[in-house]
């Protein structure tokens, strides 16, 4: 059931992305850029491109031909080549999330030994290309073998037989190798019993509703596949079986540009992997190129001062290029049906159009993250956003405030609830990236009601009380009950989670002098009210006399005796009223009585 629910959420997210309104002025500029540069670069036969921008949705454009007389259309599919690797690494991370494998597992746990392959290489080292395994697939004589037998199904074990000596010791350097991903696919098969294509289908493609994407040879073709051109020769009539079984997990997937843009958006907006896996996916290692780092089927590149994530892909007759702007969340995909070609440069130019015209990503929103219902005039600020001429703020439900600049003042109504505060820049080319700040809106506590029982006041709220009288706050009196010590007006106010209730009802309490019942008595009891030590004194008495201290519930809390003077430790007594029962009163202390009660108040 959980998988079904997640799949429904993915599909709804994809449908939402497809139905959002992409800025028409930006769409025109992107299509003009695509047309202009594809026509200028003569080795590009045809190209399809897509741009996804959060808040705007998807633009898709195409130009050129599949073959003479057949233009490229947006629904056509291309070989994405090495962009297959991100699907594979994501599938492996999902297996790790399920506890089926660990990225720290060595090859020998899942595979037999193979010549020239160190069995102690880890899965992580395969996926980030730090294994040292050599890559023979696209060099002679093995590339010639694939070309000679285009319809042959090459098994992974057969391909491993082509592997030469390691290029470096595992974990000591970096070197790109397609064989790394062939090995990863073999591990997935041995760990689950399923080919990696089924894992990708069930865990990624179907939940995301990517209906224009398939794993070649292992799955049936879908849609219309573009003719592939290699060195300006149409290879459409040449079987892909040999190529895509030899390459397998390293590059066998076909897709169209919109599916690829939606796939990148779903992955990097946190819809697929948990945070631990995302941390793994985005932990990059250095390569020999200072502008190019690599993680798990994902690169981090810097071009003309722009740093972005993505991947490229080259195979016989196809090229692909993916760019994701980690700040804006924008995704740019370029696919072409020819190799070699200058398609990657065109994809970057489309990305540069987005960066130069769409409002940039927003910095962090500053302002309080915890407020109370009914709290007003709360100000939030975001740093100025590049290219923005205006700002759009989205508030938590029940909150109100209007602003088209980078500062907003918000009133949180009595019905406001917790939620995200979102801001994005806007200009003639639409909305850009956004910043989000979660606001925790706490409810106002229920107004307390107080009641009186003799000298004790009780609040209906068990916690958060602060007692007051007509002169103001009574220091330290924060319990549910308060023992009154003087005539006054009393009330309480409750504070919970930083939010303050309305004032309770007010009760006027009249307290008779606490010494009235001790008048004309030779017995001295002090101090009264008492804190920690109570003195009972009977001047001139020579006889031992028993006494007990009783609370208002009639419970005896202390027993003792006295001759002339004694001290009782009352530090552990609860605040309230107590009575001292003096027994066996000597003659002259209480004429006609054998006992006497004295009232004491414990603060």
Are the CB atoms for 337 and 226 separated by under 8 Å?
Answer: yes
Between 518 and 128, name the one with better pLDDT: 128
CA distance 268 to 586: 90
Query: What's residue 519's pLDDT?
Result: 40
Whether the predicted pLDDT of 463 surpasses 90: yes
CA distance 477 to 603: 10
Supply φ then ψ for residue 310, to 5 degrees: 160, -150
Are the CB atoms for 49 and 257 separated by under 8 Å?
Answer: yes
Whether the predicted pLDDT of 590 surpasses 50: no
Query: What's residue 361's pLDDT?
Result: 87
HSE-CB at 359 with a 13 A cutoff on CA atoms is: 27
**Domains recognised in the chain with CATH numbers:** 2-357 (3.40.710.10), 370-442 (2.60.40.10), 450-509 (no CATH), 519-602 (2.60.40.3080)
Query: What's residue 512's pLDDT?
Result: 52
CA distance 357 to 353: 6
Query: What's residue 518's pLDDT?
Result: 42
Q: Residue 140: pLDDT band by 50, 70, 90 thresholds?
A: confident
Q: Residue 577: pLDDT band by 50, 70, 90 thresholds?
A: confident
Query: Could you read off the pLDDT of 47-95 as tens digits, one per residue?
Result: 999 999 998 999 999 999 999 999 999 999 999 999 999 999 999 999 9
Going edge to edge, which strands form the sheet with 378-381? Answer: 378-381, 407-412, 399-400
CA distance 97 to 49: 33
User: What is the arithmetic mean of pLDDT over 176-191?
Assistant: 98
Which residue's entry shows tokens 């009802």? 505
pTM: 0.76
Query: Could you read off the pLDDT of 425-448 as tens digits, one per residue?
Result: 999 999 988 899 999 999 999 999
Contacts of 125 (CB under 8 A, 6+ apart): 131, 170, 171, 180
Q: Is the dihedral of CA 355, 356, 358, 360 positive or negative?
A: positive
User: What is the arithmetic mean of pLDDT over 481-498?
Assistant: 92
Which residues are bridge partners to 576 per DSSP? 602
Are the CB atoms for 198 and 231 separated by under 8 Å?
Answer: no
Are the CB atoms for 319 and 347 separated by under 8 Å?
Answer: no
Q: Which two tokens stand for residue 490?
A: 């009393």
Between 546 and 303, name the one with better pLDDT: 303
CA distance 593 to 291: 102
Are the CB atoms for 363 and 381 separated by under 8 Å?
Answer: no
HSE-CB at 295 with a 13 A cutoff on CA atoms is: 19
Please give the C-alpha separations between residue 547 and each of 353, 415, 527, 562, in angstroms, as whole numbers: 93, 58, 18, 8
Query: Could you read off the pLDDT of 320-343 as tens digits, one per residue?
Result: 999 999 989 999 999 999 999 999
Q: Kindly state the DSSP code that residue 201 receives in the 8-state scheme.
A: I
Extended strands (E) in 21-147? 46-53, 57-67, 70-71, 78-79
CA distance 144 to 149: 9
Between 336 and 594, name the one with better pLDDT: 336
User: What is the arithmetic mean of pLDDT over 113-131?
Assistant: 98
Q: Residue 513: pLDDT band by 50, 70, 90 thresholds?
A: very low
Which residue's entry shows tokens 């006889």? 543
Are the CB atoms for 295 and 281 separated by under 8 Å?
Answer: yes
DSSP 422-489: EEEEEETTEEEEEEEEEEEEEPPPPPP-EEEETTEEEES-SSSEEEEETTEE-TT--SSEEE--SSEE
User: What is the arithmetic mean of pLDDT over 155-180?
Assistant: 97
Whether the predicted pLDDT of 5 surpasses 60: no
Contacts of 419 (CB under 8 A, 6+ apart): 395, 396, 397, 438, 439, 441
* pLDDT above 70: percentage of residues in the chain: 92
* Best CA proximity match to 381, nearest among 393, 400, 365, 359: 365
User: What is the arithmetic mean of pLDDT over 202-206?
Assistant: 98
CA distance 321 to 311: 6
Q: Which two tokens stand for residue 219?
A: 């799955």
Q: Provide the mean pLDDT of the chain.
A: 91
């Amino acid at each position: 059931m959980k998988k079904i629910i997640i799949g429904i959420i993915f599909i709804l997210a994809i449908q939402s992305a497809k139905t959002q309104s992409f800025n028409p002025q930006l769409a025109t500029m992107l299509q003009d850029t695509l047309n202009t540069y594809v026509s200028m670069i003569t080795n590009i036969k045809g190209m399809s491109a897509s741009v996804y921008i959060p808040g705007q949705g998807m633009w898709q454009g195409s130009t050129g031909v599949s073959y003479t007389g057949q233009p490229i259309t947006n629904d056509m599919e291309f070989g994405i080549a090495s962009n297959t690797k991100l699907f594979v690494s994501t599938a492996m991370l999902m297996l790790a999330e399920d506890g089926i494998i660990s990225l720290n597992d060595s090859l020998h746990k899942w595979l037999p030994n193979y010549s020239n392959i160190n069995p102690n290489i880890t899965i992580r080292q395969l996926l980030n290309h730090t294994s040292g395994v050599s890559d023979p697939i696209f060099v002679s004589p093995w590339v010639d073998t694939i070309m000679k037998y285009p319809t042959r199904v090459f098994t992974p074990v057969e391909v491993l037989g082509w592997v030469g000596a390691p290029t470096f010791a595992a974990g000591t350097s970096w070197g790109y190798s397609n064989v790394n991903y062939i090995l990863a696919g073999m591990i997935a098969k041995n760990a689950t019993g399923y080919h990696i294509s089924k894992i990708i289908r069930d865990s990624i493609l179907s939940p995301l509703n990517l209906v224009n994407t398939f794993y070649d040879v292992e799955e049936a073709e879908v849609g219309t596949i573009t003719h592939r051109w290699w060195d300006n020769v149409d290879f459409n009539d040449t079987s892909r079986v040999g190529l895509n079984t030899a390459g397998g997990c390293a590059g066998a997937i076909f897709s169209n540009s919109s599916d690829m843009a939606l796939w990148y958006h779903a992955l990097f907006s946190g819809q697929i992997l948990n945070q631990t896996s995302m941390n793994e996916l985005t932990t990059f290692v250095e390569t020999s190129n200072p502008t190019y780092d690599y993680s798990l089927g994902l690169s981090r590149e810097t071009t003309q001062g722009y740093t972005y994530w993505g991947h490229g892909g080259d195979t016989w007759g196809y090229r692909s290029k993916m760019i994701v702007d980690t700040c804006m969340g924008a995704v740019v995909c370029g696919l072409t049906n020819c190799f070699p070609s200058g398609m990657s440069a065109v994809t970057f130019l489309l990305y540069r159009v987005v960066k130069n015209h769409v409002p940039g990503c927003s910095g962090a929103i500053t302002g309080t993250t915890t407020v109370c219902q009914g709290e007003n005039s709360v100000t939030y600020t975001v740093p100025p956003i590049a290219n923005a001429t205006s700002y759009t703020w989205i508030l938590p439900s029940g909150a109100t405030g209007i602003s088209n600049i980078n500062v907003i003042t918000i009133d949180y109504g009595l019905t406001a609830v917790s939620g995200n505060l979102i801001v994005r820049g806007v200009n003639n080319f639409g909305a850009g990236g956004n910043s989000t700040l979660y606001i925790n809106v706490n409810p106002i506590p229920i107004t307390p009601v107080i009641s009186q029982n003799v000298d004790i006041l009780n609040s209906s709220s068990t916690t958060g009380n602060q007692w007051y009288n007509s002169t103001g706050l009574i220091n330290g009196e924060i319990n549910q009950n308060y023992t009154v010590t003087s005539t006054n007006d009393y009330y309480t106010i409750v504070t919970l989670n930083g939010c303050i209730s309305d004032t309770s009802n007010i009760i006027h309490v009249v307290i008779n002098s606490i010494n009235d019942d001790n008048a004309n008595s030779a017995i001295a009891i002090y101090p009264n009210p008492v804190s920690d030590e109570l003195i009972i004194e009977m001047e001139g008495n020579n006889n031992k006399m028993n006494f007990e201290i009783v609370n208002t519930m009639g419970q005896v809390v202390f027993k003792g005796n006295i001759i002339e003077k004694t001290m009782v430790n009352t530090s552990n007594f609860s605040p309230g009223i107590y009575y001292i029962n003096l027994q066996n009163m000597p003659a002259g202390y209480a004429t006609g009585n054998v006992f006497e009660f004295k009232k004491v108040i414990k603060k």
